[in-house]
Structure 1
Amino acid sequence: MVTILEAKSRKSKKKSEINQLRKTGKIPAVVYGFKTENTPIAVDERDFIKTIREVGRNGVISLQIDGEKQNVLLNEYQEDTLQNKITHIDFIAVDMSQEIEASVRVELVGEAEGVKSGGVLQQPLFELSVLAKPDKIPEFISLDISTLQIGDSLSVGDIKNDGTYTINHDENETIASVLAPRVEEADDEEAKEPEATGEGEKES
């Protein structure tokens, strides 16, 4: 099921009018990409948040601009962390029949046996670049790490792919590994240094 997000085109780029737009609960945005010129729009903040919760970060959205529908993906957004508000959104129009490149987060599942034994989990890759049709881009890629012992690792080649997307990474790239715990070595020389007694030789 395609989720529809209502949008309205906007012509003004004046800062004062954009700020006024935000005060009314709207987010200034832009859409560009497949058969689409760079078009300034505005969407309702609550509707946008609800839509992303429904379709996910990489889900296809049917963006309805002044009554005309376009299939888009969320490309990126800017956020005011102090006010906890989204200040701008970039949508990219897509051709549903053509593969595109997208970033997908990696989700590690389970607790590694090696970590339970005192090892340290490392994750060099938190996102993977994939190639897929817009409606086949996964929300995330799961990787079970529960069997990893100290010294073990999992790489891109260990991911079970259902064939709907291609991962644009070398199969040998490490995603997660369990390292031996660090041991702080005492300074033996300092430990063995004798304490000064303060006693000198007696004069005869």
Structure 2
Amino acid sequence: MSTVLSVKKREAGHRSTLTQLRKGGAIPAVIYGYNLDSTPISISAKEFRKSILKNGQNSVFPMDLDGKKVNVVVSEIQQSSLRDEVNHIDFIAINMSEALEADVPIKLVGGSVGVSEGGILMQPNLELKIKVKPTDMPEVIEVDITKLLIGESITVANIRETIDFEIVSEDDRILATMMAPSVVVEEADSTE
């Protein structure tokens, strides 16, 4: 499990107060969920970034909230569209013994036969919704595409039996598809 994140309670404030926090190197956030009322907090931007890089966004983060240890997951991260900085974070306090739903990134692995034949690999969905205990949460779900031929697709139904946890997404959700290469037909010169 990751290192304990230190947070401070904050007053729910005006935009200027939140701007002051961000300028001071903190991120305004809120924590709510299991055995906890909605509480506005602030967290060090540097500490949060380091923890995300080390453990990934789907990890369980132990948090120290006024001496009370709380296990949380990231529910939402709001980022600035102009700068690479986090504006706000929603944390959900969780019960470690209960399964929870989470969107986990899909990673396509293997060299596809279809690509070697000139096909174009498409990945229409980048995440898969699963239900799993927090301690068993994977960082990514690997989908093997080595046997994917031109004109074929891999759906949730194709991988459901190979995954060790419950998949919430529907069976017809496409994870990868191999498109035929487009052929450019040059027009014959009509002046001949």
TM (normalized to structure 2)? 0.89
**What corresponds to 1:134 in structure 2?**
134
* More displaced 10-residue stretch of structure 1: 72-81 or 178-187: 178-187
2:149 equivalent to 1:149: yes
Which runs of no fewer than 5 residues in structure 1 stay unpaired? 196-204
Cα distance in 2 between the residues matched to 1:186 and 1:27: 56
**What corresponds to 1:6 in structure 2?**
6
Contact conserved, 2:2 with 2:51, CA < 8 A, in 1? no
When residues 48 and 192 of structure 1 are mapped into structure 2, their CA distance, relative to the original with a 3 A threshold, is closer
**Aligned runs of 1:32-47 on 2, under 5 Å?**
32-47=32-47
SS of 2:4's equivalent in the other structure is strand
Deviation digits for residues 85-126 of structure 1 (CA, Å, limit 9, x no counterpart) = 111111011111111111111101133121122111122221
TM-fit CA distance, 1:26: 0.7
SS of 2:59's equivalent in the other structure is coil
Cα distance in 1 between the residues matched to 2:125 and 2:12: 41
**What corresponds to 1:158 in structure 2?**
158
After superposition, the CA RMSD in angstroms is: 1.9
**What corresponds to 1:168 in structure 2?**
168
TM-fit CA distance, 1:129: 0.8
SS of 1:18's equivalent in the other structure is helix
**What corresponds to 1:101 in structure 2?**
101
TM-fit CA distance, 1:15: 2.0
**What corresponds to 1:201 in structure 2?**
none
When residues 21 and 172 of structure 1 are mapped into structure 2, their CA distance, relative to the original with a 3 A threshold, is closer
TM-fit CA distance, 1:6: 0.3
Contact conserved, 1:3 with 1:55, CA < 8 A, in 2? no
TM (normalized to structure 1)? 0.85
2:172 equivalent to 1:177: no
Cα distance in 1 between the residues matched to 2:166 and 2:110: 25
Q: Runs of 4 or more off by more than 4 Å in structure 1?
A: 191-195
Cα distance in 1 between the residues matched to 2:109 and 2:122: 14
SS of 2:129's equivalent in the other structure is strand
Larger Cα Rg: Structure 1 or Structure 2? 1
Deviation digits for residues 123-154 of structure 1 (CA, Å, limit 9, x no counterpart) = 22211111111222211100111232222322
2:112 equivalent to 1:116: no
SS of 2:28's equivalent in the other structure is strand
Which runs of no fewer than 5 residues in structure 2 stay unpaired? none
Identity %: 41
